[in-house]
Amino acid sequence: MTDVDDPADHGDVADPTELAERVRDGEFRLHELDDHADRASAAAARRRLLEAETGADLDAVGGYAFDAADTEGNVENLLGAVQVPMGVAGPLPIDGGAVSGERYLPLATTEGALVASVNRGCGVIRAAGGASARVLKSRMTRAPVFRVAGVGEAERVVEWVRNHRETLREAAESTTSHGELVDVTPYVVGDSVFLRFGYDTKDAMGMNMATIATQAASEVVERETPAALVALSGNLCTDKKPAAINAVEGRGRSVVADVEIPAAVVEERLHAPPAAIAEVNTRKNHLGSAKASSLGFNAQAANVVAAAFLATGQDAAQVVEGANAITSVEVRKRALYASVSLASLEVGTVGGGTTLPTQSEALSVLGVGGGGDPPGANADALAEVIAAGALAGELSLLGALASSNLASAHEQLGR
């Protein structure tokens, strides 16, 4: 009998139906299909197998625009693709640190009324002369946890780290040609020592970069101190989980967008006076969120962040941190001031899902595809546009609530 562990014994098999049968016969496993056929044929074989075993029709899943071979590094056991409708909001005029002028914001979503809501907010900002946006901090973090004998050893480890930051920087940066180690912050909990490494990852979102660099730095810590590495991620990073440390210290890009809107524009476009908008924000976004012990003091920032992430190939699970946002609104003399502060917006314009065709096209619409000049400029620009888009969404929803139009808008546009 042929040794199924040796792909060379089989050669490449092009027929998906035959491949599916060989999986059903136990000759090899689903994940081994890529060893016996090109990636597209392997994906087709998985669809054939699932159709036979579940009765599902996967024709739509099998209709995708990208080259299957280009998804290696993005997904395992490739089956096909899920298509999410994409709309566009804008133009949105922004005066940013990395972006200047009008931008259109692609948004991928299945929630009716979302794109219309953001688009309305863009119109309000446009009528007000545009929004300002700035990235105030850029740090991708990874926080390994080490074991020590007790607080005495913990103190020695912390002291060593504080006195040898350059040694850790050299070790971390030896693994990357782009990333820079910016800071290392120690935390002690009993016999556990956490080191929160913060990196400037330029135009990459940088989670993989930070992980690999931190592994190298952690090996130095183990070699030079009594600390023993327990886990490369100790959850003080914090990745893809609600965490106050991200709301306070930031992760990825910490970005703020604001606008001052003449009172006449507020009443004409949002159908409510500035005082009513401000009251809804205070009672809903601030008091309601505080009573709920929410980490997000906003109306719908996650909506815009999620839709922009899906459209531009970001890590969708990091919407958890992206929704760490505070919306501020106050009445000024004959105007309404509004801002949204996103403490931990993790975005990149190179690597990961940004290289896929539709996502790459969406980044091109924004004018931020690929690496920036200087490095990091494109990711900063993307963060500023998303923040301004989130501000547009906040204004629109607050206006709908203040004018009692929320239900009717969803009734008309949602389903």
What residues are labeled active site?
A: 111, 315, 410
Burial of 286 (0-12, 13-18, 19+ CB in 10 A): middle
Q: Nearest-CA neighbor of 393 among 285, 282, 263?
A: 285
Rounded to the nearest 5°, which phi and psi values hold at 89? -120, 145
Interatomic CA distance for residues 203 and 185, integer angstroms: 23
Interatomic CA distance for residues 393 and 303, integer angstroms: 8
Rounded to the nearest 5°, which phi and psi values hold at 103? -135, 145
Interatomic CA distance for residues 163 and 159, integer angstroms: 6
Residue 16, CA atoms < 13 Å, CB-side half-sphere = 16
Rounded to the nearest 5°, which phi and psi values hold at 292? -85, -5
What is the residue-wise DSSP string for 55-101? ----TTTT--SS-GGGGTTT-SS--------EEEEEEEEEEESS-EE
